[in-house]
Amino acid sequence: MANGGEGGGPYGPGGAGNGAGDGFGEGAGEARPVSRGRALLARLDRWRRDPGTWRRGIIIAVLAVAIALLMILHAQIPNKIGNLGSLTETFLPWLGLFVPLLLILALVRRSATALIALLLPTIVWANLFGGLVTDKSGGGGDLVVATHNVNADNPDPKGTAADLAESGADVLALEELKASAVPVYEAALAGTYKYHSVQGTVGLWSKYPLSGTRPVDIRLGWVRAMRSTVTTPSGPVAVYVAHLPSVRVKLHAGFTANQRDKSADALGEAIADERLPRVILLGDLNGTMNDRSLNAVTSQMRSTQGAAGHGPGFSWPAAFPLARIDQIMVKGVEPTSSWSLPRTGSDHLPIAARVDLTENDARS
């Protein structure tokens, strides 16, 4: 059989040297289709050989490094100018959204420099907030607690109370209680909770007896915090309910959080002076666990969401939650699970957690 004749040889007409069957060259015969993998490798090889690959995208690379440094050094951002540090820390996890945006720009620009630089903010975000996307909840627990800022302008307090009564919570804290709405909540929750107390604009409902109930001074001039002992089957637990002052972002003043910060310090002092070893804090703190201005509280207590939550657990605003400013925090208590409850007539989502009151006793 002739080697160079028609149909001869593995490379088709024209013999081995004409390139017709290699998927890239042009020849008399029909080229075989190139696999997607080979095409991608070829494209990457051309990209690698392009000297502009390393020169393009410098600005994108600089932005990637800047975002990484912002996440790493957020505690160094001063609060003296418009509480800028606290504002950054409130929405710190959302800085991760810049990574996919810059990735798209890097691919469009075909910049190897930018792609490599993007590894830095990716690693930093995963180290700081990777736990937000994992499920840390577990089984067990002997007490379910919940908290909800019901919104003073709630158009349906009766419906909100009915939803909360079905939440399964043994202990329920409510914030932003308007005086005219308190009887509505009391009537709607009476069938589920035998014990309750309202102090100022906050209240506590419980299936177990309450004692030692009193307001907590958080330096506002009116009552927005309280403390009570809940006598559970596993023993007494000190439960605090708090609604720290609201914060605002204003162009001329920045992040107006000074009053909240003073109240957080006072709340932290009250919790530090608590004599019972098991403490639970329920409430709207108008700040996240990352916010340094809440350090008087966060330094001595654990967030149930951080320890045993499923996802980020954002609670505000209810229509499109961006931050977790409602908190369930514990000391001397082991959280086993934490979750958000369905939306009510409020602009906040209710949040709940299950805790184990006997875990620490068993360890000691």
Specify the CATH number for the domain of residue 215: 3.60.10.10
Q: Which of 93, 108, 133 is the last residue of a domain?
A: 133
| pLDDT recorded at residue 245 | 94
Distance CA 343, CA 318 (A): 7
- Say whether both 119 and 147 belong to one domain: no
- Say whether both 275 and 337 belong to one domain: yes
- Say whether both 122 and 152 belong to one domain: no
Of residues 13 and 344, more confidently modeled: 344
The CA-based diameter of the chain, rounded to the nearest angstrom, is 105
Radius of gyration of the chain, Cα coordinates, nearest whole angstrom = 30
The kind and range of the H/E element at 227 are strand 225-232
Averaged pLDDT, 299-319: 93
Averaged pLDDT, 55-80: 92
- Say whether both 105 and 49 belong to one domain: yes
Per-residue pLDDT of 229-273, as tens digits, reads: 999 999 999 999 999 999 876 655 556 688 999 999 999 999 999
Q: Which of 133, 152, 182 is the last residue of a domain?
A: 133
Residue 232 domain-assigned (yes or no): yes
Per-residue pLDDT of 96-140, as tens digits, reads: 999 999 999 999 998 989 999 999 999 999 999 888 788 888 888
**C-alpha 173 chain-centroid distance:** 21
Three state DSSP letters for 343-360:
CCCCCCCCEEEEEECCHH
Q: Does the pLDDT of residue 146 top 70, yes or no?
A: yes
| pLDDT recorded at residue 182 | 98
Q: Does the pLDDT of residue 13 top 50, yes or no?
A: no
CB distance 157 to 185 below 8 Å: yes
Residues of the chain with pLDDT > 90, as a percent, come to 70
Model confidence at 43, pLDDT cuts 50, 70, 90, reads low
Model confidence at 11, pLDDT cuts 50, 70, 90, reads very low
Cβ contacts of residue 109 below 8 Å, gap of 6+? 56, 57, 60
Model confidence at 5, pLDDT cuts 50, 70, 90, reads very low
Per-residue pLDDT of 313-336, as tens digits, reads: 999 999 999 999 999 999 999 999
- Say whether both 291 and 212 belong to one domain: yes
- Say whether both 179 and 294 belong to one domain: yes
Q: Work out how many domains the chain is built from and give that number.
A: 2
Strand partners, 174: 148, 203
Q: Does the pLDDT of residue 295 top 60, yes or no?
A: yes
Tally the C-alpha atoms within 13 A of residue 356's C-alpha that lie toward its C-beta: 17
Q: Does the pLDDT of residue 344 top 50, yes or no?
A: yes
Q: Does the pLDDT of residue 19 top 60, yes or no?
A: no
- Say whether both 251 and 355 belong to one domain: yes
Range of the domain at 358: 143-363
- Say whether both 175 and 228 belong to one domain: yes
Total-model pTM: 0.80
Per-residue pLDDT of 191-220, as tens digits, reads: 999 999 999 999 999 999 999 999 999 999
Per-residue pLDDT of 152-195, as tens digits, reads: 999 999 999 999 999 999 999 999 999 999 999 999 999 999 99
- Say whether both 105 and 46 belong to one domain: yes
CB distance 83 to 257 below 8 Å: yes
Give the pair of three-digit tokens for residue 17.
Answer: 């040297």
pLDDT, the chain, mean: 87
| pLDDT recorded at residue 361 | 52
Q: Does the pLDDT of residue 20 top 80, yes or no?
A: no
Distance CA 301, CA 332 (A): 9
Distance CA 118, CA 59 (A): 12
| pLDDT recorded at residue 40 | 66
| pLDDT recorded at residue 204 | 98
- Say whether both 249 and 327 belong to one domain: yes
Residue 241 domain-assigned (yes or no): yes
Residues of the chain with pLDDT > 70, as a percent, come to 84
